[in-house]
Amino acid sequence: MNKFFILALLAIGVSCSSKTETKVKVIEPQVQPRVMGELKIAYYNSDSLKTGFTYLKNEEAIVTKQQAAFEKEVQKRTKAYQAFIMQSNENLKKGLLSENEQMQLQQKAQQMESSLMQYQQQEGARLEKLTVTKLEAISKKIESFGKDFSKANQIDVLLIHGPG
């Protein structure tokens, strides 16, 4: 029974995942949902959405790619900051810096650290907001597909099975 509902939801999802508006193709169930009294109840497994829902895969890939770029940039900036600190300390130990140069290097190190922290906070918040926005859009699409499917097949209760 669950395979049918997964396939039906995936077929609906795939047909609606393109950017152009298309009509949803309603697939008639091959396995009848459970009828409990006057209620018609069906369910689908949530793990199948990740493997078969193209829109979800594409949105997840976008977020993953941006997260990887963010992490790479943070590592690059952190390495530059650490290299600057190490070089400054070596020059200080060798006695190559005047007091004025030491203060300038200390200010530059503070600016680099502040810039790194600010980047992490701002870009991290932007990525978090993007992720939440995409998850909300995905949830709305799944909810819409579920409603359309339930209406087309006279299902009173459509449940999700698995982690949310």
**Joined tokens for residue 23:** 């009509």
pLDDT range class, residue 87, cuts 50, 70, 90 = very high
Single-letter code of the amino acid located at 129: K
Would the pTM of this model clear 0.85, i.e. be above it? no
Tokens 């209620």 -> residue: 39
Residue 135: its H or E element? helix 99-152
33: helix, strand or coil? coil
Under 8 Å between Cβ of 39 and 157: yes
Q: Interhelix angle for 2-16 vs 99-152, to 10°? A: 120
- Residues 124-160 pLDDT 10s: 999 999 999 998 988 898 888 888 888 888 888 888 8
Average pLDDT over residues 77-82: 96
